[in-house]
Amino acid sequence: MKHAFSSIELSLPSRLGFEKIAMNTAASVGRIMGFPEDRIEDLKTAIAEACINAIEHGNRLDEKLVVGVTLSMTPDALEVRVLDTGPGPRFPVEVPDIDKKMNEEQQSRGMGMFLIEALVDEAEWVSTPSSGSYARMVIRLPKSEE
């Protein structure tokens, strides 16, 4: 990459299904950066889950509220922030447990944040009480590629 830093911004109304727009925008950025196809898939799922959470939980499906996505390219990684206007998740978040789910001791949902953490290289949730919160994810380029 010629330039050390450059950033792409996307904003979406809070409507379920629109996470696909973020997925495809991010995939396009990932391909330009040279990520291998399996990492693009990881990125797509992670960003989709973060957007769905922002739409559903953060902005409570209020379409007038915007979900913001920033994609920051550095020479060795892509950093993604998914912003909403809510307070962010309350920690600790219950870890999904398939045995409990199959025994109906845990609701079937609740796998999004777990998947985000499993699929990207860094994931954190940042709450900025005055303005909202964001999920921050970093996915690094494989070393051999640079």
Partner 1 sequence: MPDKGTQVKMEEIDCGAGQPITVLRFIGDITSLSQAAVLGTYQGLPDTAKKILIDFSKVEYLNSSGIALVIQMMIAASKKGQTIQTFGLTPHFQKVFTMVGITRYTKLHPDEQTACAAFSA
> Which residues here bind ligand ADP, judged by CB under 6 A?
49, 53-54, 57-58, 84, 86, 88-89, 93, 109-114
The answer to whether 32 contacts partner 1 (rule: CB under 8 A) is yes
Q: Minimum CB separation from ligand ADP for residue 145, in Å?
A: 30
> Computed from CA positions of residues 53, 35, 33, 40, in that sequence, does the dihedral angle turn out positive or negative?
negative
| Contact with partner 1 (CB under 8 A) among 1, 65, 115, 138 | 115
Neighbouring C-beta atoms of residue 105, cutoff 10 Å: 9
CB-based contacts of 25, cutoff 8 Å, min separation 6: 8, 10, 69, 71
Task: List alpha helices for the chain, DSSP H.
Answer: 19-33, 37-53, 98-102, 112-119
Alpha carbon 116 to its chain centroid, in Å, reads: 7
Q: Give the interface size with partner 1 as a residue count (CB under 8 A).
A: 36
Please give the angle made by the CA atoms of 49, 121 and 18, to the nearest 5 degrees: 20
Q: Which is nearer to ligand ADP, 81 or 140 (CB)?
A: 81
| Contact with partner 1 (CB under 8 A) among 6, 7, 13, 34 | 34
Residues at the contact surface with partner 1, assessed by CB under 8 A: 16-17, 19-20, 23, 31-38, 41-42, 45, 48-49, 52, 96-99, 101-102, 104, 107-112, 114-115, 118-119
